């Protein structure tokens, strides 16, 4: 389990402590719970001045999930770990739905509105909302962790590794592409794109070969859109046959492979687009920022025989990585859910309004998205329930627990333990 953050009576961060010591402080009423996720306690009495160990915040940005780790450079102990799941693709779908609704309204018989021009100018460094949300999520958590721990430096994985360029920084043009490690980046790209499995038989965890979908002998190119992964058995069986001839008895698999070959690697594009925007955000904190490559992260992780997870990748980012102590560390799972929709009228699947959203967002001092604890003592649903609440003006709430949805819980049994902040948590 990760250590518990501690604040003094003036809300200044102290050294994180073991969870057993935190329970003892709470039991003796020397501290109180300041925040549930991440768990933070605040001391009731003034704390004498003492030296506080500085920590390094490490980030492994990803298109769907970002790894976060707080590491002590002196001891190598991982104090805190988390995996932050982004909602970029959900934002993209929401924008698409809004665009379709607006377009349908313009085709109806409504008043004429003159077209407007030059009112959609984008500022310098503009990112699409689905990409900007990733940067904002990481920025939010960097600010939160800076309040709870004494962070002295930040490490960010910025670029992929390129050993060929590291061996000879003066390589240029064709010479750069045809060295000892020619095609290395292409193989890594194909592994990500094709899910690390054979495109023809689906086998995993075997040595793969880079295979031409349309063979070179029949005019195929070396373009990445004409390349796939194949096991040795399938590659030998296909030989120089055209893929349409090779898979003529499996038309469904043929169409899947041809569609996947043209599909870009959206995750890699999202990371490449946002990496420098995130770097500028981290530098704006005023802390020294160390950047590392993906190759260095993999090197550090393999040297310490660590499994591949998002939070361990984060802990291994940068040249400053010490020998890590990860004993008992359990990462906090964070999912970005947003703050709801401002749409005041819900529609059916055809775009016609079918229900109204009330203007009031708070009832009985609760709002949808709060994490509550309900201790039901009477009725058919006696028990303890913890989870996100969906409120109603009648006072009968629904609670989403890890075991499923519980409906019809009275507000009188509910106690808020964490206010809505746009995220959901799991340990």
| 32-60 residues labelled b (16+ CB within 10 A) or e (exposed) | eeebebbbbbbbeeeeeeeeebebbbbbb
DSSP run (H or E) holding 417: strand 414-418
Q: Which has the higher per-residue pLDDT, 105 or 295? A: 295
User: How far is it, in rounded angstroms, from Cα 161 to Cα 88?
Assistant: 25
CATH fold of 359-426, please? SH3 type barrels. (2.30.30)
Confirm if 29 and 43 have CB atoms less than 8 A apart.
no
User: Per residue in 303-346, pLDDT tens?
Assistant: 899 998 999 999 999 989 999 999 889 999 999 998 888 778 88
**Torsion (CA) 228, 295, 278, 186 in degrees, nearest 10:** -20
Domain 55-87+129-161+267-336: top CATH class: alpha beta
Task: Look at residue 362 and give its three-state secondary structure.
Answer: strand
Looking at residues 42-60, what average pLDDT do you find?
86
User: Per residue in 274-291, pLDDT tens?
Assistant: 888 999 999 999 999 999
Looking at residues 219-245, what average pLDDT do you find?
86
Position 62 pLDDT exceeds 90: no
User: Per residue in 142-199, pLDDT tens?
Assistant: 999 999 999 999 999 986 544 444 445 555 555 444 554 455 557 767 887 788 889 8
Domain 183-265 matches domain 359-426 at the CATH topology level: no
Given this model, what pLDDT does residue 167 score? Answer: 45
Looking at residues 289-300, what average pLDDT do you find?
86
Average pLDDT of the chain to the nearest whole number:
85
Please give the share of the chain, as a percent, with pLDDT higher than 90: 44
Q: Where are the beta strands (DSSP E) in 214-288?
A: 227-231
Q: CB neighbours (10 Å) of residue 364?
A: 15
pTM for this structure? 0.78
Looking at residues 376-398, what average pLDDT do you find?
91
User: Per residue in 85-111, pLDDT tens?
Assistant: 999 888 988 888 888 777 776 667 667
Position 264 pLDDT exceeds 70: no
Given this model, what pLDDT does residue 123 score? Answer: 83
Q: CB neighbours (10 Å) of residue 291?
A: 17
Given this model, what pLDDT does residue 48 score? Answer: 67
**Region of 328 on the Ramachandran plot (φ > 0 left; ψ -120 to 50 alpha; else beta):** left
CATH fold of 183-265, please? DNA Binding (I), subunit A (1.10.30)
Q: CB neighbours (10 Å) of residue 164?
A: 18
186: Cα within 13 Å, side-chain hemisphere: 18
Name the residue ranges covered by the structural domains of the chain: 5-43, 55-87+129-161+267-336, 183-265, 359-426
């Amino acid at each position: 389990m990760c250590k518990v953050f501690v604040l003094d009576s003036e809300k200044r961060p102290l050294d994180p402590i073991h969870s057993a010591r935190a329970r003892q402080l709470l039991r003796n009423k020397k501290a109180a719970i300041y925040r549930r996720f991440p768990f933070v306690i605040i001391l009731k009495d003034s704390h004498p001045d003492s030296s506080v160990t500085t920590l390094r915040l490490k980030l492994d940005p990803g298109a769907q999930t970002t790894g976060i780790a707080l590491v002590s450079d002196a001891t190598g102990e991982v104090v805190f770990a988390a995996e932050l799941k982004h909602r970029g693709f959900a934002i993209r779908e929401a924008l698409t739905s809004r665009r379709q609704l607006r377009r349908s309204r313009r085709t109806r018989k409504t008043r004429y509105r003159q077209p407007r021009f030059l009112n959609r100018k984008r500022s310098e460094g503009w990112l699409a909302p689905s990409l900007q949300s990733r940067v904002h999520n990481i920025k939010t958590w960097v600010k939160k962790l800076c309040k709870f721990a004494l962070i002295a430096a930040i490490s960010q994985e910025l670029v992929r590794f390129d050993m060929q360029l590291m061996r000879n920084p003066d390589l240029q043009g064709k010479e750069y592409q045809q060295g000892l490690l020619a095609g290395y980046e292409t193989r890594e790209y194909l592994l990500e794109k094709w899910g690390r499995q054979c495109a023809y038989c689906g086998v995993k965890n075997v040595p793969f070969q880079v295979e031409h979908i349309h063979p070179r002998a029949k005019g195929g190119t070396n373009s990445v859109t004409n390349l796939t992964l194949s096991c040795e058995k399938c590659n030998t069986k296909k030989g120089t046959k055209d893929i349409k001839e090779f898979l003529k008895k499996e038309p469904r698999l043929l169409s899947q492979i041809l569609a996947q070959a043209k599909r870009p690697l959206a995750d890699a594009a999202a990371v490449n687009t946002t990496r420098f925007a995130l770097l500028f955000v981290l530098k704006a904190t005023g802390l020294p920022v160390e950047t590392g490559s993906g190759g260095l992260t993999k090197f550090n992780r393999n040297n310490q025989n660590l499994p591949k997870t998002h939070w361990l990748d984060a802990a291994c980012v940068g040249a400053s990585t010490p020998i890590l102590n990860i004993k008992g560390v359990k990462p906090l799972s964070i999912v970005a859910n947003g703050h709801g929709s401002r749409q005041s009228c819900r529609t059916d699947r055809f775009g016609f309004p079918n229900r109204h959203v009330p203007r009031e967002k708070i009832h009985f001092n609760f709002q949808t998205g709060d994490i509550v604890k309900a201790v039901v003592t009477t009725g058919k649903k006696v028990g303890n329930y913890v989870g996100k609440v969906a409120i109603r003006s009648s006072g009968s709430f629904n609670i989403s627990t890890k075991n499923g949805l519980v409906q019809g819980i009275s507000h009188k049994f509910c106690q808020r333990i964490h206010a809505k902040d746009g995220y959901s948590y799991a340990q």
